Amino acid sequence: MSVRTRFAPSPTGYLHVGGARTALFNLLFARQHGGKLILRIEDTDEKRNTPEALEAITDGLDWLGIDWDEGYGKGGNFGPYRQSERNAIYEKHFAVLQAGGHTYEDAGAIRFRSPRKTVTVDDLVCGKIDFDMSNPVTHPDMTIRRPDGSWIFHFVNVVDDLEMKMTHVIRGEDHLSNTPKHIELYQALGAEPPKFAHIPLILNHEGKKLSKRDGGSSLSYFLENGYVPEAVLNYLCLLGWSPGENRELLTIAEIQELFSLDGINRRNAIFDLDKCFWLNGQHLQTMALERFVALSRPFIVKAGIVATTDEDLLKALTIVKPKVKHLSDVPAWIGFLFTEDYPFDPEAVEKSLRKPEALDHLRALGAALATLTEWTHPAIEARLKETAAAAGLKAGPFVHPARVAVSGKAVGPGLYEMLELLGKDRVLARFQKAEQLP
């Protein structure tokens, strides 16, 4: 059978970066071997499951571009793909265990009777590990069914992987200690276990397991703060895996080509939001303009910025693209281009417009630009430098007041590109407005 991997989240909260990484590694492995990724929803915990959490999981996977081949929302030959709808399947396998004498009742719960032998886990990442299961004190018989009749994770997880014909189970190393128990269940059911690969945990800078209190632990953090999917995927793949040769900046196509379980580290991964921020900036710089526009648009709409035409918006995004590090920053970079009611940064005003002779330089520049017949970047730049030279000065004393006058800020896209985009009439009007600031 061809390779079949799975991502099996529980819809009880946000999509954790660890879960997203697990989904990614399973996708990469399946794609490399011409196999399939299956999405299974482990929703047996009725009290904690929420529709919002399920939607957050699927939306997060969609945003990252992790496209599963079979499972929840897509169907397939091994459904249903929600555990809450698979009770009849669990009853069938439970009966097999009962008939084989592998279960017993304990205070209303049903436990699985361990064979009390050494179980060898031949892990594709961690190597061969022997687990001595003989001591009932350190390895008590596991519960597989609660007194209320609901199922425990270990049992339904094994049954689902068996029924859905999983060939490989790639999951976090925190599940490694569960694996010998799962192998015991496979053996009791007369089935061959899949191959296991346990990937390193993701820890915070304190060396503790990454939790919801840590910034960036939820995938929603990256959506809300303007990260691009390409950068987050790039960063996720580096959490515990390395392509070698100190390479870090990778496209999804390169990741798919280079990925292998052999490249997964045994050391736990340290979550570094600064590195993800750097990768985000790098991917934004190399991104096609059309992609940048599409990803920026939701943030622009949310900020209430309205461009007269798509062409105007395209021009604005073209000149700010080299500066943007987060998509959420785009509105602040372009907002002044689409309104005359833009705010002035008091510090920028004090530094660039309150200096002696700053307004004189602004008036002189305005007068010089007013006579321009060709309103283009090169012509504007040449006229500003001519005006500065005539005053016996460098360009700076004219550039800085002009920038603050037209944008209200001391930083932004290139001045000449800004002036060209705003147009002659708006620039001259903004110069006059700056002169009248209180």
Residues forming a β-bridge with 110: 105, 145
| Identity of the amino acid at 163 | E
pLDDT for the residue 84: 95
Counting as low any pLDDT under 50, the low residues of the chain are none
- Contacts of residue 125, defined as CB under 8 A and 6 or more positions apart, other chains included, come to 197, 198, 199, 261, 264, 266
Distance (Å, whole) CA 171 – CA 18: 10
Helices and strands (H and E) in the chain: how many: 18, 12
Query: Can 409 be counted among the known catalytic residues?
Result: no
pLDDT for the residue 120: 98
Strand pairing of 109-112 and 143-145? antiparallel
Distance (Å, whole) CA 106 – CA 147: 9
User: What radius of gyration, in Å, describes the C-alpha atoms of the chain?
Assistant: 30
pLDDT for the residue 373: 95
Structure tokens at 146: 């609660």
Distance (Å, whole) CA 438 – CA 432: 13
| Identity of the amino acid at 375 | W
pLDDT for the residue 47: 81
**Nearest alpha carbon to residue 330 among 303, 291, 290:** 303
pLDDT for the residue 46: 80
Structure tokens at 328: 């959420």
Distance (Å, whole) CA 365 – CA 435: 13
Among the listed residues 212, 355, 385, 433, the single catalytic one is: 212
